[in-house]
Structure 1
Amino acid sequence: MNNTKKEDILPKFLNNPSLRLILFFALAIQLIMTLLSFVAYLWLGTIMLIMFIVTLIVIWRLGNVYIKELNDYILNLTYRIKRGEQEALIKMPIGILLLNEEHQVDWLNPYMQTQLSKVGNVLGESLEDIHSELYEMYTSEDKQHSLVEWNEKIYQVTFQKDIYAVYLMDITEYATIKEEYEEARPVVGWLFLDNYDEITQGLDDRGVSGFDSMLTTYFSNWGRQHGIFYKRVSDDRYFLLLNRKELDRLEKEKFNIIDNIRERTSKRNLPLTISLGLAYGEEPFDKLAELAQNNLDLALGRGGDQAIVKPVDEEPRYYGGKTNPMEKRTRVRSRMISQAMQKLMNDSEHIFVMGHKNPDLDAIGSSLGVARIAMMLKKTVYVVVDKDDLSHDVTKLMLEIDKHDQVRKNIISIADAEKRITPKDLVVLVDHHKPLLSIAPNLLKKTKRNMVIDHHRRGEEFTENPLLVYIEPYASSTAELITELFEYVSTDGDPINRIEATAMLGGIVVDTNNFSLRTGSRTFDAASYLQSVGANSTMIQRWLKEDPEVYLQRSRLIETIEFVQDGIAIANGDDDTIYQTVTSAQTADTMLGMSGIEAAFVITRRSEDMVGISARSLGKINVQIIMEKLGGGGHLSNAATQIDGKSVTEIIEELKDVIQAQLD
């Protein structure tokens, strides 16, 4: 027997007190009128009473009919809803799995049974055995909505863990459309012939025509194979347009066009290298072209012979860079840089010069060289030095500088520099280009006027809006670059003195490992000039002399050598022992001289909170890219990094992972 009250079935608006009050008020008025009619005329009262009774009967009967029809409608609608739910549960393309507490399948809807017909019966089976990835998602606390591939279909997965339910919506078609859309997204790029001018300047018209014909044929075949539109916009520059699918193919090939071009042209004794910058993302074409140009500039700043791919708002990916950069700077460029730097100095009130943290002889010597150029222009200049962060060789140099008042008075601390600098002053960064590596990075925030002189391959992180950039990865050292600038400075002021020349020569000696690495004719020219103005090589040797304990430390480091890959060796110091930077660098150089070692990494603690890595290579392995992955940088064959807040053991494992990823 159904005990459900009618008012419980009726919609709320029929049980509304206001509606009942109105109905009661209308009936009350009619009843009053009936009573008043009896007072006036008996016959009229009788008629009104009959009408009142008829009205009550009609309202009662019509109300019952309305309630019955309404109840029938609600019951019919409820039945249709329940049936729709059941049909949806059975026929809609949504899979449902109900699990028990042991993550075993208790029930699955017919649609999912159809989809898993090839898999077999899954009832009673553990979700982990059926689909391990789906099981990991289900047991994870983070993933509530994920995508999973199962039985050649792609599902969007939703979990309702309170009832142990897994819902799988088939989105294969949409995923395919999205994949096709991603593959068809445009990629804009620039291709640059790094040393085209140097190669063709020695050829006659016929030779240049033949060389261009060879390049055109190769690029035409390459573009046709990869579906790339290319247009030569100048003698050494091409515009590229392709899609993401072809870009993925190029990346899988590691941009082997770079190696192929170099090898093919080398056979003609015309070794050409190329650089590429490519960009893609949710930006208009003009923005993508600008980003691609920035990537090309970054590739050239790193020495060329490489490709850089950078999506919008993502980290760049590097390919190539396997060869040492070819010399591209000329005397003309040195003169132009010198003149531009002098103009910037003359337009500034004061000049602040600083190297990188934990400076070596190259950083200090370069700083003194730039300071001397400023003094020759009769400008006030300051060299920023943190005397609490110096290696033993630089400490010896600073003691020697204390004997020269003219040089010593220009050296100030970080605190003094931050107090004195104004927005009209110029900051010169030497031997580095990453603000975070600067001795006093806050100086760059107090003035927008800055310039960079460096010989390291350019990294993605760079000083913001520099007024002048002079980065030459071919140079042996920053001291070599600055030495060449002296030739174009007016001699009205006091010339470079003995201690400054010695410091700059010391920078060249250290960075070239006594003229054995990255040494060209320009290096010897710079060293010869510094010798002619009073550089003392004997003094440099005294600075670089090591204590017996340092020699023993290096021997102990060598004893820890571990080969992690063929030709790749790692040595490490104790976590509770602090080593000098030069000790690690010399150990890495020593390891390179051993049979079977192509790349050497030395990991040592440099301070209580910091661990450093010195990396060296004979050229086959690009240690710069490996160090960049750990926050550092450098050259293809000479790089380093410094990491805070981790132990030597942790960094060894990180380095091994990066090396493995790079080789893969």
Structure 2
Amino acid sequence: MNSKIMKNLIPPFLKKANIYIPIFIAIFLLLFVSAFIVANQTVLSLVLFILLLFAIVMLLIAFFAVDNNTRDYVLDLGNKIETVQSEILLKMPIGIIIFDEGSKVKWLNPFMQKFFFKKDLIGNDLAELDAELYSLFEEFRDHEELKEKKFYWEDSYFQVMALRDERAMYFIDVTHYGQIAAEASNNRIVIGNIMIDNYDESSTMISDRRKSTIDNFMMKKLSNWAFNHDSYIKRLDDDKFLLVTTYGEMVKMEEDGFDIVDTIRETTSKANFPLTISIGMSYHEEEEDSSLIAISDLSQANLDLALSRGGDQVVIKTRSNKARYYGGKTNPMEKRTHVRSRQIANTISTIFTNNDSFFVMGHDYPDMDAVGASLGIRRIAEMNGQTCYIILDESRINSDIERLLVELRKDDTISEAIISPKQAEDMIQDDSFLFVVDVHKPSITIAPDLIDKFNNIIIIDHHRKGEEVPENVLLEYIEPYASSACELITEFFEYQDQNARQINRIEATTMLAGIIVDSRNFSLRTGSRTFDAASYLKSVGADSLLIQHLLKEDLSDYIKRNHLVEQVEFIEPNMGIAYGEDKLTYDTVTAAQAADTLLSMRNIDASFVVFLRSDKRVGISARSLGNVNVQTIMEQLGGGGHLSNAATQISDVTVSEAVQQLKDILLERNKEDS
């Protein structure tokens, strides 16, 4: 036998040194003893020698038998393991899908097959089989760092793992644990604060008997609503309630659109005693403070936000999530009183008296209301012996403000008070105060970067409050019922030192122009106090002819406005969208006027004008007659405003893309309403 054959005969495990060396030593010793016995040349020695040789042969046979048996055992074990693996792949609750180079299904196991109605799956593209699975596939494909993800699909919970090299996805069924987690999530405590809007003002005008009837009605309606949602409600005061519920029940309330808000408004309106309610709700998300105190505080803050937005709505917000709004379908009822106005005016006067450095600014591309409000604050500062600088970026103004600046510069005192954002930055001190008027969102002010440099900020605005507000707010006066910021500030003059230098002609004219523009010639959001403010401004010298001059429209703007109106596209029910060309810019005044023009047309209850601004952002001006809440629509696009008058600016999109985004929101809204 040659050495090659011998090598093949020796079992592999015997080739290891710790095995074959002892064996060879043992054989050598046996052979040595055998040689010693043979050397004695006796019959006994010969017998012993034969027996030793026989023992060696038996030992070798045993070793080869061990090798063969080991091979058989390993092969049998391997077959059993393969069988078990096959059973696991075919019968265990683990789904497997293997793909080709693209997204076509190359193979999937029976567990995964049962989730598809279609039987012939091999060779089909996943995008055609299931949209949710394809989205998951794309997420794994586009994010290489993503190795596994929790996934809810077909009423089951899965832990999905991606094996990129094998082009496979594994679906481990964890439905039992997912249901436990879902149940725990649904049982999270939700705290709500409920308030009856304008209750004190309304109840003073009725008899005690009727008041008792209304109180019982409100308690019954709210109690039944809470009972239907397995929730606890407790009356804390005549107009305040505490609601304790769970996250799962809150989701059901959201699915119903918080119909209790509409029910109470419609029922009380029919009874000639219109009342509305506002609700603020909160709960904790993962990695948030889950203490009931923190949740309760945020719930109260959400109620305050609902009230500042005009009431008759629900605000749900956690610390890490954006607010969700429901309701707000009606124009807000007037809640501010002369007492509140006097308190704010006196507080502002005290601030002017006790401090030295003041600035005021409005929103980007300011209109008459923003500039007029800024002039009003500057005048109140002067009446209290202080100088207040108006921050204005003259590179970002419209034609009407350009004409206004020509008139303002005729007054040297006003001209010196108008400064650029760069000049303001150099003048800011640690104790400086900033008045933000006609806006409360830092991102759309004239100089957003300046907001963080002020430690003391005062907000005076008439738009419905949104989530985005400055951090260092010292005083906030937001009244969405008012027609304009100029109306709010005009009321402050009554409580100033009447011996001080009063508001002059150009200031009064600008403020009256602000009221006229924002109220659309006293046709929107106009109350008795709007006319009182206008009457006061007229009495101190507001010039109607100058207002007409300032608000005159250029012929080119008129042509542009008509061009926008010509591009109108109708969206059911009774909504019109007009839009400009992708590369043709329009100013905000022209777009707003186009939206107003569209709204005056028959069969249009809400109008939207989409246009390219000079700063290359896409703007949308929205108007309605009050039955469509354009504010919530604009908020979905990052803007805000009033129920009947709102706007937004969108970056990094074309006009066509913005129009499509708006259409998607309107179509989704129509589906929810139908």
Identify the TM-score tier after normalising by the shorter chain: 0.7 to 0.9
Kept in 1, the 8 Å contact 2:462–2:480? The answer is yes
Equivalent-residue separation in structure 2 for 1:418 and 1:647 (angstroms): 33
AA paired with 1:595?
Answer: R
AA paired with 2:218?
Answer: L
The 1:244/1:417 distance shift into structure 2, 3 A limit, reads same
- 2:432 corresponds to which of 418, 425, 437: 425
Aligned to 2:304: 297
Question: What displacement does 1:107 show?
Answer: 6.4
Aligned to 2:134: 136
Query: Does the residue aligned with 1:657 lie in a helix, a strand or coil?
Result: helix
Question: What displacement does 1:317 show?
Answer: 1.3
Kept in 1, the 8 Å contact 2:454–2:472? The answer is no
Structure 1 unaligned blocks of 5 or more: 28-56
AA paired with 1:92?
Answer: M
Kept in 1, the 8 Å contact 2:127–2:134? The answer is no
Kept in 1, the 8 Å contact 2:592–2:609? The answer is yes
Question: What displacement does 1:643 show?
Answer: 2.3
Query: Does the residue aligned with 2:236 lie in a helix, a strand or coil?
Result: strand
Equivalent-residue separation in structure 2 for 1:631 and 1:127 (angstroms): 37
Please identify, of 639-648 and 322-331, the stretch whose mean Cα deviation from structure 2 is larger.
639-648
Within-5 A mapping of 1:468-617: 468-617=475-624
Aligned to 2:38: none
Equivalent-residue separation in structure 1 for 2:98 and 2:6 (angstroms): 34
Question: What displacement does 1:180 show?
Answer: 2.4
Equivalent-residue separation in structure 1 for 2:117 and 2:558 (angstroms): 67
Deviations 1:522-554 (A, max 9, x none): 001001111111111110011011122222222
Query: Does the residue aligned with 1:389 lie in a helix, a strand or coil?
Result: coil
Q: Does 1:257 align with 2:269?
A: no
- 2:416 corresponds to which of 401, 409, 413: 409
Question: What displacement does 1:654 show?
Answer: 1.4
Query: Does the residue aligned with 1:409 lie in a helix, a strand or coil?
Result: helix
Please identify, of 287-296 and 177-186, the stretch whose mean Cα deviation from structure 2 is larger.
177-186
Equivalent-residue separation in structure 2 for 1:192 and 1:460 (angstroms): 20
Query: Does the residue aligned with 1:433 lie in a helix, a strand or coil?
Result: coil
The 1:2/1:618 distance shift into structure 2, 3 A limit, reads farther
AA paired with 1:167?
Answer: Y
RMSD: 3.6
Equivalent-residue separation in structure 1 for 2:511 and 2:519 (angstroms): 13
Equivalent-residue separation in structure 1 for 2:412 and 2:500 (angstroms): 17
Equivalent-residue separation in structure 2 for 1:426 and 1:436 (angstroms): 19
Equivalent-residue separation in structure 1 for 2:647 and 2:268 (angstroms): 33
Query: Does the residue aligned with 1:364 lie in a helix, a strand or coil?
Result: helix
- 1:184 corresponds to which of 183, 187, 195: 187
- 2:323 corresponds to which of 305, 316, 320: 316
AA paired with 2:565?
Answer: I
- 1:645 corresponds to which of 617, 635, 652: 652
- 1:634 corresponds to which of 641, 646, 670: 641
Aligned to 1:349: 356
Q: Does 1:361 align with 2:368?
A: yes
Structure 2 unaligned blocks of 5 or more: 27-55
AA paired with 2:176?
Answer: E
Kept in 2, the 8 Å contact 1:128–1:134? The answer is no
AA paired with 2:253?
Answer: L
The 1:369/1:148 distance shift into structure 2, 3 A limit, reads closer
Q: Percent identity?
A: 45
Q: Does 1:395 align with 2:402?
A: yes
- 1:195 corresponds to which of 188, 198, 202: 198
Kept in 2, the 8 Å contact 1:568–1:598? The answer is yes
Equivalent-residue separation in structure 2 for 1:298 and 1:123 (angstroms): 52
Query: Does the residue aligned with 1:467 lie in a helix, a strand or coil?
Result: strand
Equivalent-residue separation in structure 1 for 2:542 and 2:624 (angstroms): 30
Question: What displacement does 1:171 show?
Answer: 2.6
TM-score normalised by structure 2 residue count: 0.84
Equivalent-residue separation in structure 1 for 2:108 and 2:418 (angstroms): 78
Equivalent-residue separation in structure 2 for 1:105 and 1:629 (angstroms): 38
Question: What displacement does 1:419 show?
Answer: 0.5
The 1:575/1:227 distance shift into structure 2, 3 A limit, reads same
Kept in 2, the 8 Å contact 1:138–1:159? The answer is no
- 1:442 corresponds to which of 439, 449, 457: 449
Kept in 1, the 8 Å contact 2:103–2:127? The answer is no
Question: What displacement does 1:364 show?
Answer: 0.2
Equivalent-residue separation in structure 1 for 2:105 and 2:233 (angstroms): 56
The 1:557/1:105 distance shift into structure 2, 3 A limit, reads closer
Equivalent-residue separation in structure 2 for 1:472 and 1:584 (angstroms): 25
Equivalent-residue separation in structure 2 for 1:613 and 1:529 (angstroms): 34
Equivalent-residue separation in structure 1 for 2:470 and 2:98 (angstroms): 57
Aligned to 1:92: 92
Kept in 1, the 8 Å contact 2:361–2:437? The answer is yes
The 1:237/1:570 distance shift into structure 2, 3 A limit, reads same
AA paired with 2:347?
Answer: A
Aligned to 1:273: 276
Question: What displacement does 1:123 show?
Answer: 7.8
Question: What displacement does 1:111 show?
Answer: 5.8
Equivalent-residue separation in structure 2 for 1:6 and 1:314 (angstroms): 71
Kept in 2, the 8 Å contact 1:148–1:155? The answer is yes
Kept in 2, the 8 Å contact 1:592–1:616? The answer is yes
Equivalent-residue separation in structure 2 for 1:407 and 1:138 (angstroms): 61
Question: What displacement does 1:353 show?
Answer: 0.3
Kept in 1, the 8 Å contact 2:193–2:300? The answer is yes
TM-score normalised by structure 1 residue count: 0.86
Aligned to 1:229: 232
Equivalent-residue separation in structure 1 for 2:142 and 2:243 (angstroms): 42
Question: What displacement does 1:617 show?
Answer: 0.3
Equivalent-residue separation in structure 1 for 2:134 and 2:434 (angstroms): 54
Query: Does the residue aligned with 2:497 lie in a helix, a strand or coil?
Result: coil
Equivalent-residue separation in structure 2 for 1:389 and 1:111 (angstroms): 63
Deviations 1:188-225 (A, max 9, x none): 11111111111111123222222211111111211111
The 1:3/1:508 distance shift into structure 2, 3 A limit, reads farther
